[in-house]
Amino acid sequence: MKNSFVKFSSFVSATVLLMIFCAGSPLYAEHVQDSVPVTALMDQPYDRHEKQKFDIYLPVERSAESTPVLFLIHGGGFSIGDKSTCKGMIKLLQTAFPYMAYVAVGYRLVDSKAKTNHFPAQEEDVKACIEYVLNNRTEYGISEKFAVFGASAGAQLALLYAYKYGTGSYKPAAVISLVGSSNMSKIGEQVMANGYPGKETFYQLFIDVVGGTVEEKPELYYTSSPINYVTADSPPTLMLNAENDEIVPRQQSDELDDKLTAYGVEHTYRLYAGQTHNMRDVKNEFNEEIITFLKKYLK
């Protein structure tokens, strides 16, 4: 029982740290203004579940021609977290891009005890939220041009939307993955092979998300893997990953890098030496990467 508690605690610590860097920290201080004039509409429903809501931050001076949108998807292992943790990142980005609109996406969380909200619930929610906002873009006074940014679990969801639905739904101009996974079919075996403390807990996390092992639900693991939907038409991608990630092994991004290269997709892959999943020592560096990337692809 004690060992189980320690393993669980290590997982919670990692996910909480992830939510902290999504939310912002004093390391961002040199970039952040006290206020950017916006109209903030909080807890806007796009469906009926209590988690199927979004916050949208609209610049006061906006138009359908000049106001692109950035959708932000929070992390938390698909089972904890909230859209509110993206406020700090939005505040940071508003300084560099005051003309943009920002949407913090809420989605249903997996409940392993109640055995509810397994995949593809989160995938469906992200798609529904993006489509709802863009279907109502005239009302919001925003452009159809947008990018998707996610951290950890949110990064996997961002990549999955960008690659899987970019042709049949709205296509993003770019996608940003911050310590995100790309191949659900392989991630369990890769986690176990890495040998980090708490690996059994991280392995179980992905089983809980899908609602079974890869042997029990191979098709669902396949359809939940962004890497399987990469084509030559996939949007430009920024991948920011940790060399010693204990939750999302670096092989996940190495494989996605190879796949994007093979299809000739514009992308940038940054692997931060010595960093673990929370990437606590390189926040300024990856923030600059995000800003540089958005300046290029979401003007």
CATH of domain 2-297: 3.40.50.1820
Long-range contacts of 252-261 (CB under 8 A, 24+ apart): 252/180, 252/181, 252/182, 252/183, 252/186, 252/187, 252/190, 253/177, 253/180, 253/182, 255/182, 255/183, 255/186, 255/227, 256/159, 256/182, 256/183, 256/226, 256/227, 256/230, 259/227, 259/230, 260/230, 260/234
Quick check: 21 and 6 in contact, CB under 8 A?
no
Quick check: 137 and 240 in contact, CB under 8 A?
no
Q: What is the dihedral of CA 119, 125, 131, 136, to 10 degrees?
A: 170
Cα–Cα distance for residue pair 261/232, rounded to 1 Å:
10
Quick check: 8 and 15 in contact, CB under 8 A?
no
Tens-digit pLDDT string for the chain (299 aa): 334 433 444 444 444 334 433 433 322 333 334 466 899 999 999 999 999 999 999 999 999 999 999 999 999 999 999 999 999 999 999 999 999 999 999 999 999 999 999 999 999 999 999 999 999 999 999 999 999 999 999 999 999 999 999 888 999 999 999 999 999 999 999 999 988 889 999 999 999 999 999 999 999 999 999 999 999 999 999 999 999 999 999 999 999 999 999 999 999 999 999 999 999 999 999 999 999 999 999 98
What residue segments make up the domains of the chain, in order of their start? Answer: 2-297
